[in-house]
Structure 1
Amino acid sequence: MKKLGFGTMRLPLFNSDDPTSIDIEQTKRMVDLFLDRGFTYFDTAYPYHGEKSEEAVKEALVKRYPRESFVLADKMPILRVKKTEDYQMFFDEQIRRCGVDYFDYYLLHNLGRDRYINTEKFGGFPFIEKLKKDGFARNIGFSYHDNAETLDKILTEHPEVDFVQLQINYLDWESQVAQSGACYEVAKKHGKKVMVMEPVKGGTLAKLPDKAMKLFNDYYEKQNFPVPTPASLAVRYAASLDNVKIVLSGMSNIEQLDNNTSYMQNFKPFSEGEKKLVKDITDVLNSTIKVPCTACKYCLEECPKNINIPDYFGLLNLYAVTGKTTGMYYERFSMNHGKASECLKCGKCENICPQHISIRRFLDDFVDLYEKK
């Protein structure tokens, strides 16, 4: 397969305020161009577009092309599973919505520390293993947003999976929050192929700040080919990793699809110069960080409320760089830990902090950002 996948979570809409108002005719044209250029991988999920993405895939793709001409991935909505029987119920509905007899790739959707507990309790892994055995799923795996330690635990306990879908982009590669690089190395250690999601980090890497954009333009003006887009740099970064099989892009119009397929049709891996370029751009983006926390975790040893200070500060820094909050990460980082608002203002953390950070003040900023909504 060519390395670009069509993610169907940002399809074209008639009304931007209504995720179910999918422009099916434009979606059909996008599917046609995608396939015509030799790409075959489509990715959907139960909740996308207000639960209308799977049906859109059926209309724009499945009804119009032979089954063997495309590769389709779908995901079990594990957050909605409350008992073992729910797995079969949801899967039957997905088969019906998509209009297929099997999925080429089938995933447990969005595993992490919290959801892994219930997935084990209700038998999620045995269920997808049986799907593969019975021919309803040709490859099984899971998508994942959490730390490398938990990923290692899951892959150690479930070697039967064929692949894992990870959030990987150059900004998150060394991030203490997303841990893209560390998670990639864990998957590689376990011999699992990687499907990449969010290579452009929700659009963050498509529009670079002026200083980073100057680095970008200066580099490519010295090359012997046209200046690409910042988004294409981010997609090619992920696709250049040896263990990556597919890089997903959620494309919202035919212009985006035309651009993505143009540079991925005859894919050229990263050069050494481009590796240095993304490092320099990352340094510029990270220079805007808010808290100089090194995640040494000494503060955790002293906090009477066991507040997860380093990871909360990681989210503050992420917001400083991207302008976006990530409630999902806060939910997970606060598991078995105190909320930021539970800080007693005792100052014990500040007394032991090697970086001499005003922890209490920054926790107040975090509360304003994440808990006062």
Structure 2
Amino acid sequence: MKKLGFGLMRLPLLDRKDPKSIDMELLKKMVDTFIARGFTYFDTAWMYCGFSSEKATKEALTSRYPRESYTLATKLHAEYFDSVESREAMFGKQLENTGVDYFDYYLLHDVNEKHLEVYDSLDCFTWLAEKKAQGLVRHMGFSFHDSPELLDRLLTAHPDIEFVQLQINYLDWESEKVQSRRCYETAVKHGKKVIVMEPVKGGILAQVPAEAAEMFAGRNPAATAASWAVRFAASLENVMVVLSGMSDMAQVLDNTATMTAMEPLNSGERDMLLKAAEIIRSHIEIPCTACSYCTEGCPMGIPIPGYFSLYNQARQGRGSFSAYEKLSEGAGLASACVGCGQCEGVCPQHLPIRENLKKIAEYFED
């Protein structure tokens, strides 16, 4: 299996304000191109794209290709079940949504201290092993957003876990909050394969500041910023798959070209990227990856990732007030936040979303 995976989280939309308005015709072409270029791994989840990603996966992939021609992963998220019965119903619905009779890879989703309470209370690690024994899951693992210490405890307590999905990119490699390097090293210590998520950090590493872009061009003028980020993750030993949440055909073409003839980074290139990380970090006000978990339950309908992106661009001299006005049409303004905190409870990056919305309101609305 080739190392690039198609993340079905940031799919092309007909209406950028409606996460369910997936452009199915474009998605089918993207899937076709991905497969035609020899790649087979697809990653979806219960709540992606306003709970529409698994169904889109069926329409664009599983109903159009033989089962043995692709590898499919999905996930069980602690926020969406609260009993043995609702967990079983959710799993059955996922099989129905995706149109398959087994999952190649199945993950407990977004494991952290908070969600672990749910997973442990319902003995989900044992349940996952039972699904594997029944042939409904071929490989079992979990995605992780917490400390390397917790990861070490989990892998010690559950040695039958086969793989871990980690947020790894050169910007977060030495981050005190994300701790990509230490989490990766912990997984390697336990002999686990690693699936990489957020290699381009939600697109942040696809559009880098001019100083970093000049460094990249000095090494290879033809390489895109995103290709450098993907290669950083793919160059790590023990990495099985690098996921990319692709939202247009250009990203599919760039990523597949990068990974078809992928050359591991040499020491000079690696040092350059870690130096670029320092430059990029100094330009980013809000390190949002645009996963959109925060928007699902927002009572005011605030397009939080969109506002964060505009604010980051504005602070770099690239954003505009007209873009904010356009994005806010028919949606909640940043100032409409009621401070309920729902968004912060589900944010994998643990961002102070409410405080950031106040900054955005002051910048764009005052």
Change (3 A) 1:237 1:329: farther
1:12 maps to what in 2? Answer: 12
Q: How does 1:74-93 map to 2 (within 5 A)?
A: 74-93=74-93
Distance 1:24 1:185 in 2: 39
- CA deviation after TM superposition for structure 1 residue 286, in Å: 3.8
- Return the letter of the residue paired with 1:327: E
Decide whether the 8 Å contact of 1:46 with 1:94 is kept in 2: yes
Match of 1:279 in 2: 274
**Cα 1:36–1:213 shift into 2, 3 Å:** same
Contact 1:285–1:321 (CA<8 Å) still a contact in 2? no
Q: Could you report, residue by residue, the CA deviation over 1:104-153 in whole angstroms, capped at 9, with x for unpaired residues?
A: 00001111011111210011111111010000000000111111111111
Q: How has the CA–CA distance of structure 1 residues 367 and 62 changed in structure 2, closer, same or farther, with 3 Å as cutoff?
A: closer
> Is the alpha carbon distance of 1:37 and 1:367 closer, same or farther for their aligned partners in structure 2, counting shifts above 3 Å?
closer
- Per-residue displacement from partner, 1:242-272 (whole Å, max 9, x unpaired)? 0110000011111211111112112211122
Pairing of 1:301-340 with structure 2 (within 5 A): 327=344
Equivalent residue number for residue 110 of structure 1? 110
Aligned to 2:54: 54
Question: Does the CA contact (< 8 Å) of 1:188 and 1:243 recur in 2?
Answer: yes
Question: What SS does the aligned partner of 2:104 have?
Answer: strand
- Residue 285 of structure 1: how far off its partner (Å): 2.6
2 CA distance for matches of 1:13 and 1:288?
A: 28
Q: Distance in 1 between matches of 2:357 and 2:6?
A: 37
Cα deviation, 1:69-114, whole Å, max 9, x if unaligned, reads 0000010122112112222111000000001010000001111011
- Equivalent position of 1:192 in the other structure: 192
What's the secondary structure of 2:216's corresponding residue? helix
Distance 1:239 1:62, change over 3 A: same
Match of 1:230 among 225, 228, 234: 225
Aligned length: 311
Shift of 1:288: 5.4
Partner SS state of residue 202, structure 1: helix
CA distance in 2, matches of 1:46, 1:367: 27
Secondary structure at the residue paired with 1:203? helix
Work out whether residues 110 and 348 of structure 2, in 8 Å CA contact, stay in contact via their aligned partners in 1.
Answer: no
- Matches for 1:93-104 after TM superposition, within 5 Å: 93-104=93-104
TM-score, reference length from structure 1: 0.77
Structure 2: any 5+ residue segments left out of the alignment?
Answer: 286-310, 316-342
Residue of structure 2 in register with 1:178 after alignment? 178
Q: Secondary structure of the residue that 1:247 maps to in structure 2?
A: strand
Gaps of 5+ in 1: 222-226, 291-318, 342-364
**Contact residue 75 and residue 109 of structure 1 kept, 8 A:** yes
Q: Separation in 2 of the partners of 1:285 and 1:75?
A: 31
- In structure 2, what is the equivalent of residue 295 of structure 1? none
Distance (Å, rounded) in 2 between the aligned partners of 1:117 and 1:171:
30
Contact 1:146 1:178 in 2 (8 A): yes
2:138 is matched with 138
Structure 1 position 216, deviation (Å): 1.5
Q: Which residue of structure 1 lines up, in the alignment, with residue 44 of structure 2?
A: 44
Counterpart for residue 339 of structure 2:
none
Q: Is the contact between residue 217 and residue 223 of structure 2 (CA under 8 Å) also seen in structure 1? A: no
Paired AA for residue 62 in structure 1? T
Q: Compute the displacement of 1:367 (Å).
A: 10
Residue deviations 1:269-312, cap 9 Å, x none?
Answer: 1122211210221222344589xxxxxxxxxxxxxxxxxxxxxx
CA offset at residue 220 of structure 1? 2.0
Aligned to 1:299: none
Judged with a 3 Å threshold, the aligned counterparts in structure 2 of structure 1 residues 331 and 60 are, in CA distance, closer, same or farther, namely closer
CA offset digits 1:31-86 (Å, max 9, x no partner): 11111110000000000111111111111111111100000001012211211222
Contact 1:219 1:277 in 2 (8 A): no
Structure 1: distance between partners of 2:263 and 2:27: 27
For residue 202 of structure 2, give the secondary structure of its aligned residue in structure 1: coil
8 Å Cα contact 2:139/2:162 also seen in 1: yes
Residue equivalent to 1:202 = 202
Deviation at 1:218, TM superposition (A): 1.9
Which of 252, 257, 266 is the matching residue for 2:252?
Answer: 257
Matching residue's letter, 2:104 = D
Alignment partners' CA distance in 1, 2:76 and 2:251: 28
The whole-number CA distance in structure 2 between the counterparts of 1:259 and 1:367 is 33
Aligned mates of 2:314, 2:246 — CA distance in 1: 20
SS of 1:9 mapped into structure 2 = coil
* One-letter amino acid of the structure 2 residue matched with residue 257 of structure 1: V
Q: Is the 8 A contact 1:84 1:123 kept in 2?
A: no
- Structure 2 contact 209–283 (Cα < 8 Å) conserved: no
Moved more, 210-219 or 64-73: 210-219
What's the secondary structure of 2:237's corresponding residue? Answer: coil
SS at match of 2:240: strand
SS at match of 1:217: helix
Q: In the superposition, relative to structure 1, how do residues 25 and 289 fare at CA in structure 2: closer, same or farther (>3 Å)?
A: closer
Deviation at 1:328, TM superposition (A): 5.1
Structure 1 330/94 Cα, relative in aligned 2: closer, same or farther at 3 Å?
closer
Q: SS of 2:201's equivalent?
A: coil
* Bigger Rg, which one: 1
Q: What's the counterpart of residue 156 of structure 2?
A: 156
